Structure 1
Amino acid sequence: MMSEQRRLHPAAIIFNFIKAIREALFVIIISFISFKDDYLFYYLLVVAGLVLIILTISVLSWYRYTYRLVDDELQIEYGIIVRKKRYISKNRIQSIDLTASVIHRIFKLVKVQIETAGSGMSAEATLKAVTVGQGEQLRRELKVVQQGEGGEDFTRNQEELDSPSKQISWNRLFVAGSTSGSIGVILALLAFGLSEIEQFLPDQFFNQTFEWVIGLGISIVIVLAIIVLFVLYLLGIAGTMIKYGNFTIQKNKEELFITRGLLEKKQLTIPLKRIQAIGVQESIIRQPLGYVTVFAEVAGGSLDKGEDFSTVLFPIMKREEVDAFLQEFIPTYVSERTKLHPLPKRALKFYLFRSVIPFFIVAALVLYFYPQFIWGPVILLLASLYLGLLRHRAGGFRTEEKLLTIRYRVLSKNTMIIVHKRIQSYEKKQHKLQKSQQLATLNLSIIGKLGVGKHYKLKDLAVNDVDLLADWYSYRKKG
C-alpha cells in the first residue's frame, strides 16, 4: 500500500501545457489574422507572455498535485491557490483504465482514469502521467480482483491472465477500415474546415484557384477528384487501423479488458454488471459481405475515455461468429437473434411513407431553384423507397425467458439483446392511423453512458404483439 504522498511524473507538465495551448489556439489564430499587419510586434510580445504564463501555471499545477493511498482510499490534493482534496473509496470505483499516448510511450508512462458510478461527463480522477509500474500498482490496490504484477508494458499483464481472449487480425482490421464508410465523415469535416477557412482568406486567392481549375479541363478535374477521393479512402482505412490496431478483448472473472490503439494505446475496463445491452450492427456496406460489429451499452462512465456513447467489444467479425463470441465472453446475452418475429405486412406502407418524406422536401427545393436537375430527386425517391423496404424487413423482436431481442434499421441494421432487469421503462404508443390498422409503436429505455437514458423504438408492430411484450415486461401471465 502506497501511503506516502506522490507527485505525477514531470511529463505531466507537458500535458498541462499542451492542453492549455490547445484551448487558447483559436484565440491566438484569430488574433494573428487581426493584428498581423499593423501590430505584429506587439502581438508576438503578448503571445510570448501568454506562453510564459501557461508554462508557469503548468509547472505549478504539476508541483501542487499529489496523491496517495490510505486505508483502501485514494486521496488527491490539487490547486495552486485554493487547495482541493478528493477522496475516492475503493468500494465506489467502477473501472480503472490505462491509456498511453505517443508521448506517454516515449517516457514509458500511462494515464490512469478512475471512474465511479457518479463520474458524469468526466472521470472521477485522472492521473495524467505516472510510470507503468505505478499505474499497475494503483490498479492492483484499488481493485478487489488481483490483476498480476507491474511490468514494462501494461498490456502484457492482461495477456498472462488465464482467461478467454480474442485479438483482431490485420486482415480483418483492413476489411474494417475499407468498409467503415469513414470517407463520408472525412469529407464532411473537410467541407466544414474549408467553409471556416474561407472567411479568413482573400477573395483573390479563390478567384485565381477557380480560374486555375477551369483551365485544367473537365477530364483532368475528374481525375483529380478521383485521386482526392482515393486518398481520403486510404485515410479512412488508416484511421480505423490506427484506432483499433492490436485490438484485444479479454475476460477475467466479472470484468472485460479491452486493449487497442497503435499510436495511443488504450486499456478499458468494463465490469459485466454495468453492461445494459449487447448490440450487433450491420452497416449497409458490410451486410452483403457478412460482417458485423459487436458493441455494448454500458451504464455510467464518462466521455474522458474518448469513446463513443457505445463501447465496441469487437470491431468486425463474421455474422456466424457472433454467438460463439458471446458464449465465450458474455454468455448471459446469447439469444436466438436470427429467429425474430417480423413486422406485419400491413406496416410496410408506413415505412415507405416515412422514407419518402426527404424526397418531397428535396424535390420541392430542386424544382424551385434548379429544375434542370430534377433527375436527382428521382434517384433519391428510388433509394428512399428501397431504404423503407429494408427498414420494414429488418424490424422484428423475440422474447426468451429473461432476454428481449429487438431489431431495427436507420441506415445500419441493429440487433439489440437486453436482459429483462435492465429495462427501465416500457411504453406503448398509437396514433389514429395505427389504430385503424391495429398497429402500435413500442419504446424501451435502459441506462446508458453518463447515466442518461438510452432509448429504443420499434414502430408499427401488431397491437397484440406490443401487448404480449407488455405482459412479458410486467411478468403478467396470459389468461
Structure 2
Amino acid sequence: MFEAKRLHPAAIIFNLIRTVKEFLFAIILGFITFRDESLLYFALILAGLVIIFIATSILTWYRYTYRIEDDELRIEYGVFIRKKRFISKNRIQSIDLTSGVIHRIFKLTKVEIETAGSGMSAEASLSAVKLAEGEALRTELKASGVQQQADDEEYHEEPAEQTNPSTTISFKRLFIAGTTSGSIGVILALTAAGFSELEQFIPESFYDETLEWVIGLGIIILIVMVIFVLLLLWLLGIAGTMIKYGKFTITKNENELFITRGLLEKKQSTIPLKRIQAVGIQESVIRQPLGYVTVYAEIAGGSMDKGEDFSSILFPIMKQDEVEQFLETFLPDYAGIQHELTPLPKRARKFYIIRSSVLFLLIVAAAAIFLPSFVWIPILLLIASVFLGWLRHKDGGFNVEDQKLTIRHRVFSRNTIMLYHKRIQAFEKKQHKMHQLQSLASMTLSIVGRMGTGTHFTIKDLEESHTDELSDWYSRRN
C-alpha cells in the first residue's frame, strides 16, 4: 500500500454535510433575522455559501491522500496549508469500521483509528473507503510484530478450539432491551427541548387557539392523550434501542474483542484486552426485578466521538445467571463474580437517606407555604427519594480476593465493578467531622479512562477500619 490513495468520491458528500452542520446555527439565525423584507438577499447569500461549501468539499477530498509505508499510516491533507500525519502501527490501539446509511448504499465504510493519545476525536478518520479496502487497512495496520509481542507478554493464548468464541443477541432479548431501556425519559426531554426551540416559529394566534382547545377538552380525553403520547415515546425508545443494538455480536479474537452492532448504521469496534481497566455489571431499576443486566467495560484511552459515553457495552442485556459463563468465555480473568460483599454499616444508612432526600424536603417545605394544594407532589417525590437512599445503602459493599477487588454502588442503577490492583491509579480516603464521630470514611478509586483521564468509583460511609484495610491493600502494606 505504498501508493497514495484518495477517499471514495462519496467523501465529498460527507464533507459537505459536516460543513453545513458547522454553519447550521448561523444559517437559521440569518433566516430568522432576514425572513421579512430582506429574504431575497439572504437567499442570494445562502446560494453563494452553498457554492463555496461544495467547492471546499471537493478540494478537501482531492487534497486528502493516505498510504501505508515503513510500518506507518501516512496521511496528507489540507487545501491551503498542507499537513502530514504519520501514525506508527505500534501506537495504534484500535481500528473501528462504521457504515452509515449512505455508506451502505455505496458499499463503503468509515475507518477510525485510535492511539493511546487520542483526544476528543479519533487520531485519524478516513470518512469513506470501500468496505474491502477498509478491512484490508485494518488487517495491514494490525499486523505489527512489536504490538503483537507486547500483547502476548501480558495475555496468554487460549487453546486452539477456543480462540474465536462468539455470541449474538437474539431478537427476543433485543426487544426486552428496548422495552426496559428507560429511554422514554430521554426522548421526552429531547421532545420538550425541541418544542421550546420551535415555539418561536409557531404563530401566536395558532398557539393560543390550540391551548384553548386543549383546555376545553374533558379530563378523560386529556388523560387518554397523555397515555397515547407516552406509549408513542415508549415505542420510539424500543425502536431506537433495536436499531442501535440490532445484530449485536461479540467475538473474541486472540488478544482483542471484536464487536459488531447496528441496523441502519453498522459499527465494528475493536477492544484490545490490555486496555480493559475494569468490567462492570449494571442492573437498572426496571431490569433488576426481571433479572436482566448489562455487561460493560471501562476502557483506557480512546476518544469521545463513538457515542458510547465513557464505557463500552460488552453485551446490552442478558440474564444475571448468564454473566458468569459470559465472562469465562470472553474475559476469564474477570470470572468468579463475588455476590457476598462486605456490607456498609447500619449506622451509615441515615447519611444515605439524608443525602437523597434533603432537596425534596426543602421543596416540600416551600410547597407547603406557597402552593399547599400541590404539596402532595413533592411529598411523593420525597418518599421515593427516601426509598432510593435506603437502596443505595443496602446495595453498597466491597470484596477483596487476592489482587481482585469487587465494589458495588448505586446512583439509580446498581453497578458491580470488578478490577485488579494493577489497574488502580489512585486511592483516596475522605472523612468529615460527622464521619470521625461515627468511625466512618469514604473511599474513591481511580483508573485510567477515556482520553487518558481518570474514571472514579466512590463508596461512601464505609467502616473506617475497612477503608484502612483497603488502603493497606492498595499500598501493599501488610
Q: Shorter-normalised TM-score: what interval?
A: over 0.9
Equivalent position SS for 1:130: strand
Q: Report the counterpart of residue 70 of structure 2 in structure 1.
A: 71
**Amino acid across the alignment from 1:375:** W
**Amino acid across the alignment from 2:67:** R
Q: Report the counterpart of residue 322 of structure 1 in structure 2.
A: 323
The separation in 1 between residues aligned to 2:430 and 2:184, in whole angstroms, is 38
CA contact (8 A) 1:100 1:111 kept: yes
Q: Report the counterpart of residue 240 of structure 2 in structure 1.
A: 239
The separation in 2 between residues aligned to 1:23 and 1:366, in whole angstroms, is 44
The separation in 2 between residues aligned to 1:452 and 1:364, in whole angstroms, is 41
Q: Which runs of 4+ in 1 moved over 6 A?
A: none
CA contact (8 A) 1:335 1:417 kept: no
Q: Report the counterpart of residue 379 of structure 2 in structure 1.
A: 378
Does structure 1 residue 36 correspond to structure 2 residue 35? Answer: yes
Q: Report the counterpart of residue 448 of structure 1 in structure 2.
A: 449
**Alpha-carbon shift at residue 109 of structure 1 (Å):** 0.4
**Amino acid across the alignment from 2:324:** D
Pairwise mapping of residues 53-452 of structure 1 onto structure 2 (< 5 A)?
53-144=52-143, 163-452=164-453
Moved more, 287-296 or 466-475: 466-475
Equivalent position SS for 2:451: coil
Judged with a 3 Å threshold, the aligned counterparts in structure 2 of structure 1 residues 71 and 145 are, in CA distance, closer, same or farther, namely: closer
Q: Deviations over 1:23-53 (max 9, x none)?
A: 2222222222221221121111111111110
What TM-score, normalized to structure 2? Answer: 0.95
Moved more, 203-212 or 137-146: 137-146
CA contact (8 A) 1:179 1:285 kept: yes
**Amino acid across the alignment from 2:14:** F
**Amino acid across the alignment from 2:207:** F
**Alpha-carbon shift at residue 358 of structure 1 (Å):** 2.0
Equivalent position SS for 1:81: coil
Q: Report the counterpart of residue 50 of structure 1 in structure 2.
A: 49
Equivalent position SS for 1:450: helix
The separation in 1 between residues aligned to 2:35 and 2:414, in whole angstroms, is 52
Q: Deviations over 1:302-346 (max 9, x none)?
A: 022222211100000001111111111111112332111111111
**Alpha-carbon shift at residue 280 of structure 1 (Å):** 0.4
**Alpha-carbon shift at residue 451 of structure 1 (Å):** 0.9
Moved more, 300-309 or 317-326: 300-309
The separation in 1 between residues aligned to 2:335 and 2:432, in whole angstroms, is 35
The separation in 1 between residues aligned to 2:337 and 2:212, in whole angstroms, is 61
Q: Report the counterpart of residue 155 of structure 2 in structure 1.
A: none
**Alpha-carbon shift at residue 137 of structure 1 (Å):** 1.1
The separation in 1 between residues aligned to 2:381 and 2:302, in whole angstroms, is 40
CA contact (8 A) 1:335 1:405 kept: no
**Alpha-carbon shift at residue 87 of structure 1 (Å):** 0.3
Q: Report the counterpart of residue 464 of structure 2 in structure 1.
A: 463
The separation in 1 between residues aligned to 2:410 and 2:322, in whole angstroms, is 21
CA contact (8 A) 2:296 2:315 kept: yes
**Alpha-carbon shift at residue 224 of structure 1 (Å):** 1.2
The separation in 2 between residues aligned to 1:126 and 1:336, in whole angstroms, is 38
Q: Deviations over 1:375-410 (max 9, x none)?
A: 112212211111111111100000011111000011
Q: Deviations over 1:96-127 (max 9, x none)?
A: 10000010000000000001100111111000
Equivalent position SS for 1:246: coil
Q: Report the counterpart of residue 14 of structure 2 in structure 1.
A: 15
The separation in 1 between residues aligned to 2:367 and 2:312, in whole angstroms, is 40
**Alpha-carbon shift at residue 369 of structure 1 (Å):** 3.5
CA contact (8 A) 2:89 2:141 kept: yes
Moved more, 441-450 or 27-36: 27-36
Segments of structure 1 that go 5 or more residues without pairing to the other structure are 148-160
CA contact (8 A) 2:163 2:252 kept: no
Moved more, 351-360 or 289-298: 351-360
The separation in 2 between residues aligned to 1:216 and 1:382, in whole angstroms, is 32
**Alpha-carbon shift at residue 365 of structure 1 (Å):** 3.3
CA contact (8 A) 1:363 1:377 kept: yes
Equivalent position SS for 1:199: helix
**Alpha-carbon shift at residue 145 of structure 1 (Å):** 7.1
Q: Report the counterpart of residue 154 of structure 1 in structure 2.
A: none
The separation in 1 between residues aligned to 2:163 and 2:425, in whole angstroms, is 35
**Amino acid across the alignment from 1:433:** M
CA contact (8 A) 2:98 2:109 kept: yes
What TM-score, normalized to structure 1? Answer: 0.94
**Alpha-carbon shift at residue 162 of structure 1 (Å):** 5.3
**Amino acid across the alignment from 2:457:** Y
| Identity percentage of aligned residues | 63
Equivalent position SS for 1:443: strand
**Alpha-carbon shift at residue 367 of structure 1 (Å):** 2.7
The separation in 2 between residues aligned to 1:424 and 1:406, in whole angstroms, is 16
The separation in 2 between residues aligned to 1:286 and 1:294, in whole angstroms, is 13
Equivalent position SS for 2:452: coil
The separation in 2 between residues aligned to 1:141 and 1:455, in whole angstroms, is 36
CA contact (8 A) 1:356 1:385 kept: yes
Segments of structure 2 that go 5 or more residues without pairing to the other structure are 149-161
CA contact (8 A) 2:163 2:254 kept: no
**Alpha-carbon shift at residue 203 of structure 1 (Å):** 2.4
The separation in 2 between residues aligned to 1:24 and 1:361, in whole angstroms, is 44
The separation in 2 between residues aligned to 1:11 and 1:447, in whole angstroms, is 37
CA contact (8 A) 2:352 2:393 kept: yes
**Alpha-carbon shift at residue 427 of structure 1 (Å):** 1.0
Equivalent position SS for 1:94: strand
**Alpha-carbon shift at residue 144 of structure 1 (Å):** 2.6
Residues paired across the two proteins, number:
463
Moved more, 283-292 or 198-207: 198-207
The separation in 2 between residues aligned to 1:162 and 1:476, in whole angstroms, is 38
The separation in 2 between residues aligned to 1:383 and 1:469, in whole angstroms, is 33
